[in-house]
Amino acid sequence: MPAKQLKEYLDQNQVKYTSIRHSPAYTAQEIAHSAHISGKDVAKTVIVKIDGQMAMVVLPAADQIVFPFLRDALGASDVELATEREFQDQFPGCELGAMPPLGNLYGMTVYASESLVHEEEIAFNAGTHTELVRMCYADFARLVKPKILHLTYSDTASA
C-alpha cells in the first residue's frame, strides 16, 4: 500500500495523522534516528507464521518478540519468523519490509505488544523506507483491532 493509498484510507476514516519524510532507513531504530523521533514511538511490523498462517506483530522499535511468549499466549504449536521471500507478494505496492501495521487491509491478523497500548501516539512505515505516518494509538486500535498480548520482556515489566 503506497503512502498515498494509506493516507486516503486514514482520511476516509477521519484519522488525524502526520506524515514524516526521512532519509532512507531500513531498521526501526535507524528510522527513528533518521526521522528525529524516539524509538519508543516507532512501531515496527514483524511478519510471523503461527502454525503455518501469516500474521503481523506490531511492537516498539527497540523491542524483540519473545517467541515462547507469543506461542504460549496463542496456544500455538509452532511460531516462527516469516522470511521475506514468504511474504514479499503479500503487500502489493509496498517496499519490502516497509509495510504498515494495518493487517486488516491485507487480510492478516494483527497482534500488538502490550507496551504500545500505553503510548499516546505511534509512528510506522507508510509503505516506503522514506516515510512514516504518526497517529494516535487509539485510532490505530479502532481501525485495526489488534489482539493485545505480552510479546516482549518490556511487556512483562509493564504488566
How much is the pLDDT for 37? 85
- pTM more than 0.85: yes
**pLDDT score recorded for residue 159:** 52
Does the domain formed by 3-147 have CATH 3.90.960.10? yes
Question: With left for phi above 0 and alpha for psi between -120 and 50, is residue 11 left, alpha or beta?
Answer: alpha
Buried b (16+ CB within 10 A) or exposed e, 111-123: bbbbbbeebebbb
pLDDT given at position 52: 95
Q: What tens digit of pLDDT does each residue of 91-126 get? A: 988 999 999 999 999 999 999 999 999 899 999 999
pLDDT digits (tens, 9 = 90+) for 28-79: 888 888 888 877 789 999 999 999 999 999 999 889 999 999 999 999 999 9
pLDDT at 158: 56
What gap in Å lies between CA 92 and CA 82, rounded to an integer?
A: 17
Distance of alpha carbon 18 from the chain centroid: 17
What length is written for the chain? Answer: 159
Is the torsion defined by CA of 74, 9, 47, 68 positive or negative? Answer: negative
Please state the domain extents for the chain: 3-147
